[in-house]
Amino acid sequence: MFSDCFIRSDDDCIALKGLDFQAANSNVERITVENCVLWCDRARVFLLGHESRAAFMRDVTLRNLNIIHFAMTPFLLEPGEDMCLENVVIENVRIYGEGQEELARLKPTVNDYMWKRVPGRIRNVRFKNVRINGKPGSYLVTLEGADEKHDVRGVAFEGVSVLGQPLTRENVRTGKHTADVTFDP
């Protein structure tokens, strides 16, 4: 658990990775980040699944946070190596934006750090009471699976607002292999 922290970083503020150290269990689970102030100068605020080799990353809670500066997509969920990234809750987050294009990207991917070079999959991600204030910008959300087996399913947006307006389907770029996306203003 990370709690009651102020983190200012040049690279990602919090990057959860399940690396294979030849142990019986390299999985990442039951992680909570709460009551923190986060400031990222150059990269992402949260990076989940990228550069990981764990079979799963699950039960991650990010709550009661203030993101006061970010340069790149603050919530980047990019599982690879056939990892299942599931049961992620992002709630009660206040973000100050400076006109950035993207708020979140949920996209199973393949990158240079992988061994198997296979995308992962994403299940059950909930954004609740996330508010972006500050300067005008797109603040889009991207949801896109890699293929039928490596897809994105079960993403919910509840009480998410951008500059005082509810997040709608127009703010969400939904690509192929994406299902069960819901909105509740």
- In angstroms, rounded to a whole number, what is the distance separating the alpha carbons of residues 105 and 111? 15
Mean pLDDT of 14-41: 89
Q: Which residue has the higher pLDDT, 145 or 20?
A: 145
| 53 lies in some domain | yes
Q: What secondary structure letter does DSSP report for 163? A: T
- Does the pTM surpass 0.75? The reply is yes
| 107 lies in some domain | yes
Q: In the predicted model, what is the mean pLDDT of the chain?
A: 94
Mean pLDDT of 20-32: 82
Q: Per-residue pLDDT tens for 50-84? A: 888 889 999 999 999 999 999 999 999 999 999 99
Domain ranges, residue 94: 2-180
Q: Please answer whether residues 30 and 5 qualify as being in contact, where contact means their C-beta atoms are separated by less than 8 angstroms.
A: no
| 146 lies in some domain | yes
- In angstroms, rounded to a whole number, what is the distance separating the alpha carbons of residues 179 and 174? 9
The percentage of residues in the chain with a pLDDT greater than 90, rounded to a whole number, is 83
| 185 lies in some domain | no
Asked whether residue 184 carries a pLDDT value surpassing 70, the answer given is yes
The percentage of residues in the chain with a pLDDT greater than 70, rounded to a whole number, is 98
Residue tagged 């009651």 (tokens): 4
**Cβ-based burial of 106 (10 A; exposed 0-12, middle 13-18, buried ≥19):** buried
Give the phi and the psi of residue 122 in degrees, each rounded to 5.
Answer: -125, 135
Q: Per-residue pLDDT tens for 120-170? A: 999 999 999 999 999 999 999 999 999 999 999 999 999 999 999 999 989
Asked whether residue 21 carries a pLDDT value surpassing 80, the answer given is no
**DSSP string across 14-74:** EEE-----S-S---EEEEEEEEEEEEESSS-SEEESTT---SEEEEEEEEEEEEEE-SS-S
Length of the chain: 185
| 122 lies in some domain | yes
pLDDT of residue 180: 97
**Cβ-based burial of 6 (10 A; exposed 0-12, middle 13-18, buried ≥19):** exposed
The number of folded domains in the chain is: 1
| 119 lies in some domain | yes
